[in-house]
């Protein structure tokens, strides 16, 4: 590894000039204090490595929450052009395919919830499976799982886990086209059978929040948000099924690269042409995992909705559901002409501007909601896409780690952390003290700084800031 040259290139933007092997430059959206520590984090070198991918267009982008990942940095965005030999790389999606965020808004405020918050958190804790391994709210047979893989969130909605409006407020209406259940291995199916309606572990959570501040009144109103309102944010993905699909296809592509004459600077960037047999197979399996993740969040969201009905007797509406680990075929203007591109977003969120044709009619005037979770005990944000947003209409996805889980566990006492959070007014329901320690706020960047950089770079705009009242952790 060599030192990576960073050249300031405008507000919250650094440029990595093209060097040996790079087909495009690197662009890092960040403030100086948010840049990865080059001594202990190889994310910037990964930005350089991604710039070497065949068919890459524009630049190898990194969001303000960028940190070291598998192949691609987490917070990395890259588009390749299939018609010019562009490739697809599972490392540009990640192992937790379609990991994302769902935000629901309850028709009650913090004052009304206060006396019943403990009852609500205890009920959610009892009903929401979390932690590693099996255990899901919805037990499925293999044939039923095939329905989830092809129909996504629509499958549980049609079976009573939600309402039709939920699908309108989901990315892709809750179903990613092109999924093929027969491209999913038996091992992946086995891992996914018992996990529909579960959080998993790591940084995944269900959090009860209050809208602390609104920055854009019109957008917040259209999205269904107001100051003091109670919300539920859910962060999870495709669980073991998605992890296995990534593992399967990384192996396949690693073996296939020589046949296509592809050389990459890091074997973790294993890739094949988008339009190859292996590329089409991965896209179909990835879409199936995305549909699984959306069904998973749909079931979890419906469980939260039912808990609110029991405890508070109030309706709960879906604000939006968006993924941040995906590769999607999209049309963008590049070098003065429209191109069909495969856009990899790994730890990065799509941020469509107002009037984009893929937005539902009610959100079209204000842009797509962008859901940015913070860390346990800190704020989260609702943003919106903006016209002219860079990096193929992409922005950050969260705070971004600055300490590994092992280091955080060494430095933090999970029991003390829980006591501190409770003293600060945040009820915590965690499955283990170590799990809490691994996700301590000190292990992450400052979410407020990340959002300021994202907005300052012209990638998005702030709509609302949410603060936690109770958190359920894996």
Q: Which residues are catalytic?
A: 397
Local structure of residue 32 (DSSP, 8 states): G
Judged by phi (left if over 0) then psi (alpha if -120 to 50, else beta), residue 258 lies in alpha
Instruction: State the Cα torsion 156-159-164-170 to the nearest 10°.
Output: 0
The pairing of beta strand 26-28 with beta strand 56-67? parallel
Q: Is 470 exposed, middle or buried (0-12, 13-18, 19+ CB in 10 A)?
A: buried
DSSP state at residue 353: P
CA angle centred on 263, ends 257 and 266, rounded to 5°: 100
Beta strands 349-350 and 394-395, pairing class: antiparallel
Residue 382: which H helix or E strand, with range? strand 380-384
Q: How many CB atoms lie within 10 A of CB 135?
A: 15
Residue 209 to residue 193: CA distance in whole angstroms = 31
Q: What share of the chain is helix, strand, coil (3-state, %, to 5)?
A: 35, 25, 40
CB 327 within 8 A of CB 217: no
**Using H for helix, E for strand and C for coil, what is the string for 235-302?**
EECCHHHHHHHHHHHHHHHHHHHHHHCCCCCCHHHCCEECCCHHHHHHHHHHHHHHHHHHHHHHHHHH
Q: How far apart are CA 298 and CA 320, in angstroms?
A: 11
DSSP state of 432: -
Do 299 and 197 contact (CB within 8 A), yes or no? yes
Give the residue ranges of DSSP H helices in 117-209: 117-127, 142-151, 154-157, 164-168, 186-193
């Amino acid at each position: 590894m060599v030192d990576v040259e960073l050249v300031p290139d405008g507000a919250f933007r650094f440029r990595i000039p093209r060097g040996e092997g790079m087909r495009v430059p690197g662009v890092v959206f960040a403030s100086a204090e948010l840049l990865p520590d080059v001594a202990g984090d190889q994310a910037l070198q990964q930005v350089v490595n991604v710039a070497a991918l065949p068919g890459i267009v524009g630049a190898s982008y990194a969001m303000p929450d960028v940190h070291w990942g598998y192949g691609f940095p987490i917070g990395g965005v890259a588009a390749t052009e299939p018609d010019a030999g562009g490739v697809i790389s599972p490392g540009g999606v990640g192992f937790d395919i379609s990991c994302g965020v769902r935000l629901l808004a309850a028709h009650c405020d913090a004052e009304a919830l206060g006396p019943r918050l403990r009852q609500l958190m205890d009920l959610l804790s009892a009903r929401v499976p979390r932690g590693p391994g099996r255990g899901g709210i919805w037990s499925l047979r293999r044939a039923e799982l095939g329905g989830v893989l092809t129909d996504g969130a629509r499958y549980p909605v049609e079976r009573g886990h939600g309402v039709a409006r939920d699908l309108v407020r989901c990315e892709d209406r809750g179903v990613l086209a092109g999924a093929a259940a027969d491209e999913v291995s038996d091992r992946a199916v086995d891992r996914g059978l018992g996990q529909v309606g579960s959080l998993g572990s790591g940084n995944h959570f269900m959090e009860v929040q209050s809208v602390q501040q609104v920055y854009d009144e019109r957008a917040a109103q259209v999205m269904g948000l107001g100051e003091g309102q109670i919300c539920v944010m859910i962060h999870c993905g495709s669980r073991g099924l998605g992890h296995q699909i990534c593992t399967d296809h990384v192996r396949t592509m690693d073996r296939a690269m020589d046949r296509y004459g592809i050389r990459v600077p890091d074997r973790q960037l294993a890739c094949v042409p988008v339009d190859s047999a292996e590329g089409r197979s991965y896209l179909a399996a990835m879409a199936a995992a995305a549909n699984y993740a959306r069904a998973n969040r749909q079931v979890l969201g419906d469980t939260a909705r039912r808990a609110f009905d029991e405890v508070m007797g109030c309706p709960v509406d879906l604000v939006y559901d968006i993924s941040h680990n995906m590769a999607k075929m999209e049309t963008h203007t590049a070098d003065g002409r429209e191109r069909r591109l495969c856009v990899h977003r790994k730890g990065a969120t799509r941020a469509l501007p107002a009037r984009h044709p893929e937005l539902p009619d009610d959100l079209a005037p204000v842009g797509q909601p962008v859901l940015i979770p913070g860390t346990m005990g800190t704020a989260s944000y609702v943003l919106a896409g903006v016209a002219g947003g860079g990096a193929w209409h992409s922005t950050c996805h969260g705070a971004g780690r600055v300490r590994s889980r092992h280091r955080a566990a060494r430095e933090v006492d999970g029991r003390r952390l829980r006591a501190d959070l409770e003293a600060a007014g945040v009820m915590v329901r965690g499955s283990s003290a170590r799990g809490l320690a691994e996700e301590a706020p000190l292990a992450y960047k400052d979410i407020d700084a990340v959002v300021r950089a994202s907005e300052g770079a012209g990638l998005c705009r702030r709509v609302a800031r949410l603060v936690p009242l109770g958190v359920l952790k894996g």
